[in-house]
Amino acid sequence: MGTLPDTSGLDAGAPPRIATDLALADLGAALGAGWRDFLAAPHYGLFFGGVYVVAGLAAAWVAFVGGELSWLIPAAAGFPLVAPFVAVGLYEASRRRQRGEPLGWGAVLGALKGHGDDQILSMGVIVFVAFSFWMIVAHAIFAIFMAESGMGADSPAAILAAFATPAGLAMLAVGSAVGGIMALAFYAMTVISLPMLVERKVSFPTAIIASFAVMRANLFVMLAWAGIIAALLALAMIPAFLGLLVALPVLGHATWHLYVRAVS
């Protein structure tokens, strides 16, 4: 059996203070700051966005080659689950720009190591498990509603036609509801915790608790932020995932600035 990450020596500082007065204007300010960070150091954003684009195109290619086009929808829907972990390097880039510290590939890529502990990597494991669990759930929902449809190696037109049937519409409704609940829970867990783990030497359970606290104290604003993220990522994936080259880094940088506003 594996061992849990060593959390000794963590959480020794003052506990984070959670803002309870976030407003919609803070979301606009965060997006503006994220856009400026992206323009100031676009090569970092394009790199991490490119990783996301390549992963999306690879998943689409595997689905086409393997004759499993029906898997594209749950895979694309689950993509936002892994976005916070991909954006860890962007959080570090924004943190360094904000504090006037030098930027470099070693520092930005090294952000995944955290503060010499396994806390961010532990969150990465959680991200992978969440994505895998979503794919299992999506497959089960598909099997329940579409087992008799014969979908799999069909053409895109045939798959779209199958989705338009009563069973297909029911599957999309149930899948959207279940996926939405899972995505919202995962968003609440990671939206503040990952930026906090980049900045502070805390344990990942402490960071997760802080993330839920921010969500609970500013529910409307944080739900609005979740909607903005979901909408922008969905639109960015339409042109062969290429919109993610800009949308992902801007949202990643912006999330850092929202974290700074939410946690002091």
Residue 6 lies in a domain: no
Q: What is the mean pLDDT of residues 228-257?
A: 91
Please write the tens of the pLDDT for every residue from 163-221. Answer: 778 887 888 888 888 888 888 998 999 999 999 999 998 889 999 999 999 999 999 99
Q: Do residues 96 and 103 touch, judged by C-beta distance below 8 A?
A: yes
Q: How many domains does the chain have?
A: 1
* Domain residue limits at 141: 24-101+108-262
What phi and psi values does residue 2 have, to the nearest 5 degrees?
-80, 165
Can you tell me which residue has the tokens 């029911």?
170
Stretch 84-105: mean pLDDT, rounded? 91
Residue 87 lies in a domain: yes
- Per the domain annotation, does 145 fall within a domain? yes
Residue 238: strand, helix, or coil: coil
Residue 4 is assigned to a structural domain of this protein: no
pLDDT of 2 over the 50 cut: no
Q: Residue 251 falls within a domain, yes or no?
A: yes
The answer to whether residue 12 sits within a structural domain is: no
Q: In this model, does residue 92 exceed pLDDT 90?
A: yes
The whole-number pLDDT of residue 67 equals 62
For residue 8, tell me if it sits in a domain.
no
Q: How far is CA 184 from CA 67, 212, 262, in A?
A: 31, 11, 18
Q: Is residue 197 part of a domain?
A: yes
Mean pLDDT of 129-144: 84
Euclidean distance between CA atoms 211 and 193, whole angstroms: 5
